[in-house]
Amino acid sequence: MDQSSQSGLRFRGRVFLQGEVRAVTGLHIGGAAGALAIGGVDQPVVRNPLNDQPYLPGSSLRGKMRSLSEKFLGLPFNRQISGVRIHSCRTTDSYRACDLCQVFGVPGSERGQVDFGGPTRLLVRDIPLAPETVQQLDALETDLPYTEIKWEATIDRITSAAVPRQQERVPAGAVFAPLDLIYSVYETADVERFRLVLQALALVEDDYLGGQGSRGSGRVRFEKLTLAVRNRARYQQEARWDTSGDMRPADLLARWDTLKAWLSQQLPEA
């Protein structure tokens, strides 16, 4: 028996939001320093070990979408995970009333904590470098494969000595694709809750991804967004939302009423 049937929810279908992520400024999403084979930079980016190309981990994007949404909605930061304060509902009642926890899920359950039985609605896949960007960067002589090194100095406050540190970044203009967000719909309220996902992407555009955001790194844009739906009755057959032009999160939010009506129609009660 799966979680959804336990809680009385029945799977209706999925919404597929795809597109591209453009690095407007250099982007640093950290990998493990020890894992870097070449260069020995202090702060390497995360790379796919199979092709050595940087990628954008779905968990990083999803985590940022969640944390910005928590602040935007003014939710209480009522839990600490590894010293980081986050919002996470602790009771079934609060969970049922909380759109954010239903969309993004409740992080790893603590010992003895109740399982609210609700499925996490949003899944974000890892996003590879787009082939055109790989080609462009292959043709350039970058500091390290596909990346640049940004030098920063930390000034010792007592001696005034500058301690140089290198940070690896994917250069500005790089495109990651496909952006691939998968959103499961179980109940009528989930259609309305999808707005949170679009809102979260808009919030990330106004903020940053990865490290050194306050120093200018990590500004991104979500571009060429498309939407498709597969419902339970005909899961093999995809219905695409008719969009023209280069849609960004704000464009989809501006069309929310039309989009919501279309989603409701595509995802009828099972």
Q: Could you tell me how many residues of this chain bind Zn ion (CB under 5 A)? A: 3
Q: Does 89 sit near Zn ion (CB under 5 A)?
A: yes
Q: Which stretch binds Zn ion (CB under 5 A): 89-97, 123-131, 162-170, 200-208?
A: 89-97
Q: Smallest distance from the beta carbon of 104 to Zn ion, in angstroms?
A: 9
The tokens describing 229, both together, are 């739906």
Q: How far apart are CA 176 and CA 268, in angstroms?
A: 33
State which residue, 62 or 150, has the beta carbon closest to Zn ion: 62
196 near Zn ion, judged by CB under 5 A: no
User: Based on CB atoms, which residue is closest to Zn ion, 94 or 264?
Assistant: 94
Nearer to Zn ion, 91 or 265 (CB): 91
Residue with smaller CB distance to Zn ion, 98 or 227 = 98
For strand 79-81 and strand 84-86, is the pairing parallel, antiparallel, or unpaired? Answer: antiparallel
CB of 14 to Zn ion, least distance (A): 22
Q: Distance from first CA to last CA of the chain, Å, rounded?
A: 18
The interface with Zn ion within residues 215-244 (CB under 5 A) comprises none
The region of 98-106, 196-204, 238-246, 262-270 touching Zn ion under the rule CB under 5 A is 98-106
Ramachandran sector of residue 134 (left: φ over 0; alpha: ψ -120 to 50; beta: rest) = alpha
From residue 134, alpha-carbon distances to 87, 100, 102, 176, 217 in Å are 38, 35, 36, 10, 20
Closest CA to 76 of 64, 61, 84, 86: 86
For residue 126, which of 7, 236, 203, 29 has the smallest C-alpha distance? 29
Q: Return the beta strands (E) in the chain as ranges.
A: 13-23, 55-56, 79-81, 84-86, 122-124, 127-128, 148-155, 162-169, 175-185, 220-231, 239-240
Residue 207 CB, nearest approach to Zn ion (Å)? 20
Q: Out of 98, 122, 129, 259, point to the residue binding Zn ion (CB under 5 A).
A: 98
**Minimum distance from residue 98 beta carbon to Zn ion (Å):** 3
Task: Select the residue interacting with Zn ion from 101, 175, 201, 229 (CB under 5 A).
Answer: 101
According to the binding rule CB under 5 A, does residue 56 interact with Zn ion?
Answer: no
Closest distance of CB 87 from Zn ion, Å: 6
> What is the closest distance, in whole angstroms, from the C-beta atom of residue 147 to Zn ion in the complex?
37
CA angle centred on 58, ends 103 and 195, rounded to 5° = 30
Go through the chain and tell me how many residues it has: 270
- Least spacing, CB of residue 115 vs Zn ion, in Å: 15
Q: Which residues bind Zn ion (CB under 5 A)?
A: 89, 98, 101
